[in-house]
Chain A
Amino acid sequence: MRETPNPHEPGRYEIRLQGHLNSRWTAWFDGLTLSRESDGTTVISGLIVDQAALHGLLQKIRNTGLPLICVTCVEPNPASR
């Protein structure tokens, strides 16, 4: 069965944006990893502590005006492994 994310626990997320973000934005996104893909997108990935933090991050992304392509929870409960 597919594991559903617990909203109050940390989870590993991947957020894909249209456009390449320079690595200098790493500090802006609180140390999350930025990787630039060959299709012209950027993937922001890392451990996000809870839903409030996720929404905060999405708000930061919104403020850049970069088109948001997708948000995926790739590992719901990394701590429980």
Chain B
Amino acid sequence: MATSLLRTKLYAPRRRRGLVPRPNLTQRLAQGADTKLTLVSAPAGFGKSTLLAEWLGEQAAAGAATAWLSLDPGDNEPAAFWAHVVAALREAVPGTGADALTLLESPGAAVEAALAALINELAAAPNPIVLVLDDYHVIDAPEIQDGMAFVLEHLPANVRLVMATRVDPSLPLARLRARGELTEIRAADLRFSTAEAKAYFNATLGLALTEANVADLERRTEGWIAALQLAGLSMQGRDDVAGFIAGFAGDDRYIVDYLVEEVLHRQPEQVRSFLLETSILTRLTGSLCDAVTGQDGGRATLDVLDRGNLFLIPLDDRRQWYRYHHLFADVLRVRLLDDLPGLAPQLHRRASEWHEAHGDRPEAIRHAMAGGDLARAANLVELAIPATVQQREEATLRQWLEALPDEVLRDRPVLSNAYAGTLLVRGEVAGVEQRLQDAERWMDAKADDPAGPMVVVDEAAFRRLPGSVAVHRAGQARILGDTAGAVFHAQRALTLVLESDHLSRGAAATLLALATWSTGDLEDAGRGYAVGMASLEQAGHLSDVIGCGLALADIRLAQGRPTEALRVLEQGLALATSDAGRVLRGAADMHIGISTILRERNDIAGARDQLLKADELGEDNGLPQNQYRSRVALAAIRQADGDLDGAIELLAQAERLYVNDFSPDVRPVAAVKVRVLIAAGRLAEAIGWAREAGVGTTDELTYLREFEHITLARLLLAQGSPPTDLLEGLLDAAESGGRNASVIEILMLLALARRAGDDLPGALQALDHAMAMAQPEGYVRVFVDEGAPLAALLASAVNASTSQAYVRRLLLAFGPGDAARPAAQPLVEPLSGRELDVLRLLASDLDGPDIARELYVSLNTLRTHTKNIFAKLGVNSRREAVRRAAKLGLLARTNLDRPLA
């Protein structure tokens, strides 16, 4: 949105001339200072905005940080709505909401996470904050209402939310009312009393009406302020006031209609037509009015209307922008349709042209559509595509495209292709193919194709079309799980994209890399990701770069290149934290990845530290996969601690939290868990898994099932039937696929298998080979996790092996005095930092909702924490938990001074 227009949305109307003081109402508002929500709910024309503007001015004078947002129908979309709320709050608290905006911009944004970040910042503000949302009735999107309910649930005490609306919002009003958290001012409170009406007519307008006159007007208007104001305008300068009142009071006509007619009748012809012709505008400024009316002097006419109190509401201090009072505008538009039929489309067209020339495409599009000029609207939408996609406003783009009929879209390849893109962004495939075919039809067409005229306004976008369509096809294939199709279309896209089209190039390269990864060609996949990530970074799509970094690190790890994986993750982390104060989503995932690598190198303390850092960023900073990946990483640390049951429990949780992010599932969590089960001697469960998963020794050995086959080999080894053949087969496959991490593990297992088969020289040869590969990259745990059998074998290798220092280092790592073990809590499974926070609050007298608010988490999250705390402490109630925690000294040792995350 153009800055000047955004400014008008954030402008709190200033005190107007001739206001009747309303001490009863401002007092009611003042008394509600402690309530979370103030609802001013009444039909149009009841003076809601005027009252709030007046009161907000007093609040600001009293030291509150105040913000105002005038909503319009374009705000009924979560991204736009919250972005504007943040913009408004920045008027009150400069610079606030940077994290929230980042989170809102990231794809698949968790709105609650963004709002929690915003709430945290507001809570830290020094002053009371008042945010007024005017015309809230334009908001009815359920996602926004849910977000607003979340905000209200967690609203810090220093923030007060005020809504002016014609319709009660879909919020838990009854609950707020019951808790005394709602201040309500309704139509019955807002209407003018007879005394107020009298003060208005006689003191403000100087009309000298009698009590009976005022009573008649009051009765006819039922205190409706807009009507009283119109009546006042009609009476000013009129000789026969009594006659006017008698006529008005005895008429059943719609008051506003009647009075507007009276008012218009008293205006010069030029003003009258100005009012009708400009009634189509959402906002008015001099040059825009001139463009629409085709006359000069718009600015001067606006001044006249402003001075005459003709329902013109200034939207800024310099009186550059105005809008009509909504009620008045509707009546004017009705008269426009009736008095000047057929003129409206022409007026809309002029308004659209003015907005286009002044850089406000959304408003230009709105007018083109309102005027029924769909071709013009479609042209404008086409030109708006690059900006909307870059700003991640695909939802707005989709609304525009949905408003255009198919016959308009079909002739416009750029629009058809963009439509497919807006569907794919939401993971939808229905309708995508048709749109892509519509687009392709024109790419292949000759200039003199008889199919009819193709329409393209963005020539550059048309030149990018072949590459972009192919990228969309690859994305479609990915969603459908068609790897071959994804490879085919992504490869095609790479040959078609233009040098300058970084976004399509990056998308094609990473889609191809993902598909290549699934086929097991790690070298190609890794190269593809690296190239694609560079393009995505050039295109400014940082979140995608970070997400791809996770995949690239996994590939490097599989290749036995943890040093390189570490560098990829550290670069991702740097990117996610490059903007001071704005941590992009995915930083937590980088920490988890780094933790896994440090653990493999037996830096358990460092690994633990990385998990803490991820924890401090909060669950919301993680990508969707982080939920399960973080548990897998923690389980590995538990295992290193010797807590196998704890590890198994965490892995069971991870299995439930697994999300498929299109990456090949090359380390299924179930198999990871089975490995720990085998280590714990729970072979029956492991055998059950092998049967259920259908893993056998005679299977074809593919990359996708390699991890499961190695797990099977471990099971057979534990059962006393050394699977030497299976391991040799796996070794061949892993070596030819360049999967060195697997090669090292398989060689190590082969050594154990040969040892079990009394082939000591063969065993030592395999182990030596494994160590030669493992040493340069610093692998430790792959050996140490095997425990005593491997320690014994290593001891025999001390003399045979070539890398003596490394062998000694490994042997030391088996030692009982594990220095990396932390100062443990006296619990089998220690409480996390967050759980200690919760525990401390459980010891207070706050109730559940209060604790959740204090920690800025949802009640559900709090329940999960509480459940985990109870399980770890072995208790069933809050009281028991607090007692046991006190006994264990956990309350005293919590970091009371640590700021909450």
Chain A: residues with CB nearer than 8 A to chain B? Answer: 19-22, 24-25, 27-28, 36, 40, 42, 62-66
What is the bound-complex CA distance between A42 and B337, given in angstroms? 20
Which residues from 211 to 261 on chain B have a C-beta closer than 8 Å to any C-beta of chain A? Answer: 224, 226, 252-257
Which residues from 322 to 342 on chain B have a C-beta closer than 8 Å to any C-beta of chain A? Answer: 326-327, 330, 333-335, 337-338, 341
Q: What 10 new A-B contacts, CB under 8 Å, besides A21-B257, A40-B252, A65-B224? A: A19-B252, A20-B253, A20-B254, A22-B254, A25-B257, A27-B334, A27-B337, A42-B254, A64-B327, A65-B226
Which residues of the partner chain A approach B341 to less than 8 Å between Cβ atoms?
A: 27
Set B44, B167, B338: member contacting A65, Cβ < 8 A = B44
What is the bound-complex CA distance between A66 and B252, given in angstroms? 12
B45 within 8 A of A: yes
Set A21, A25, A28, A62: member contacting B166, Cβ < 8 A = A62
The 5 A-B pairs at the shortest CB distance, nearest first, are namely A24-B338, A40-B252, A27-B337, A65-B43, A20-B252
A60 to chain B, nearest CB (A): 8
Which residues from 158 to 193 on chain B have a C-beta closer than 8 Å to any C-beta of chain A? Answer: 166-167
What is the bound-complex CA distance between A62 and B341, given in angstroms? 24
What is the bound-complex CA distance between A65 and B253, given in angstroms? 13
Q: Enumerate 10 A-B pairs (CB-CB under 8 Å) in ascending A order.
A: A19-B254, A20-B253, A20-B254, A21-B257, A24-B337, A25-B257, A62-B167, A63-B44, A65-B226, A66-B254
What is the bound-complex CA distance between A64 and B328, given in angstroms? 9
> Do A19 and B255 touch (CB < 8 A)?
yes
Set A22, A40, A63: member contacting B257, Cβ < 8 A = A22
B550 to chain A, nearest CB (A): 43
B689 to chain A, nearest CB (A): 50
> Do B256 and A27 touch (CB < 8 A)?
no
Which residues of the partner chain A approach B256 to less than 8 Å between Cβ atoms?
A: 64-65
B interface, size bucket: 20 to 34
A5 to chain B, nearest CB (A): 22
> Do B326 and A28 touch (CB < 8 A)?
no
What is the bound-complex CA distance between A25 and B334, given in angstroms? 6
Which residues of the partner chain B approach A64 to less than 8 Å between Cβ atoms?
A: 44, 254, 256, 327, 330
What is the bound-complex CA distance between A64 and B256, given in angstroms? 8
A53 to chain B, nearest CB (A): 16
What is the bound-complex CA distance between A66 and B166, given in angstroms? 12
* Residue among A19, A25, A64 with the highest chain B CB neighbour number at 10 A: A64
What is the bound-complex CA distance between A19 and B331, given in angstroms? 15
B45 to chain A, nearest CB (A): 5
- Residue of B with least CB distance to A37: B252
* Residue among B44, B45, B226, B334 with the highest chain A CB neighbour number at 10 A: B334
What is the bound-complex CA distance between A19 and B253, given in angstroms? 6
- A24-B327 contact in complex given A19-B253, A65-B45, C-beta closer than 8 Å: no
Contact with A along B30-74 (1 / 0, CB 8 A): 000000000000011100000000000000000000000000000
> Do B224 and A28 touch (CB < 8 A)?
no
- A28-B43 contact in complex given A19-B255, A65-B226, C-beta closer than 8 Å: no
What is the bound-complex CA distance between A28 and B332, given in angstroms? 11
- A28-B255 contact in complex given A62-B166, A64-B327, C-beta closer than 8 Å: no
A23 to chain B, nearest CB (A): 9
> Do A21 and B43 touch (CB < 8 A)?
no
Which residues of the partner chain B approach A62 to less than 8 Å between Cβ atoms?
A: 43, 137, 166-167
Which residues from 256 to 273 on chain B have a C-beta closer than 8 Å to any C-beta of chain A? Answer: 256-257
Which residues of the partner chain A approach B166 to less than 8 Å between Cβ atoms?
A: 62-63
Which residues of the partner chain A approach B337 to less than 8 Å between Cβ atoms?
A: 24, 27-28
> Do B253 and A22 touch (CB < 8 A)?
yes
Contact with A along B321-364 (1 / 0, CB 8 A): 00000110010011101100100000000000000000000000
- A65-B327 contact in complex given A20-B252, A24-B334, C-beta closer than 8 Å: yes
B397 to chain A, nearest CB (A): 22
Which residues from 58 to 102 on chain B have a C-beta closer than 8 Å to any C-beta of chain A? Answer: none
Set B44, B226, B255, B335: member contacting A24, Cβ < 8 A = B335
B282 to chain A, nearest CB (A): 14
> Do A28 and B257 touch (CB < 8 A)?
no
Which residues of the partner chain A approach B330 to less than 8 Å between Cβ atoms?
A: 28, 63-64
- Residue of B with least CB distance to A68: B43
What is the bound-complex CA distance between A20 and B304, given in angstroms? 31
What is the bound-complex CA distance between A22 and B253, given in angstroms? 7
> Do B333 and A28 touch (CB < 8 A)?
yes
What is the bound-complex CA distance between A19 and B224, given in angstroms? 14
- Residue of B with least CB distance to A36: B252
Which residues of the partner chain A approach B226 to less than 8 Å between Cβ atoms?
A: 65
What is the bound-complex CA distance between A53 and B571, given in angstroms? 53
- A63-B253 contact in complex given A24-B338, A27-B338, C-beta closer than 8 Å: no
- Residue of A with least CB distance to B337: A27
- Residue of B with least CB distance to A25: B334
- A28-B254 contact in complex given A62-B166, A63-B326, A65-B44, C-beta closer than 8 Å: no
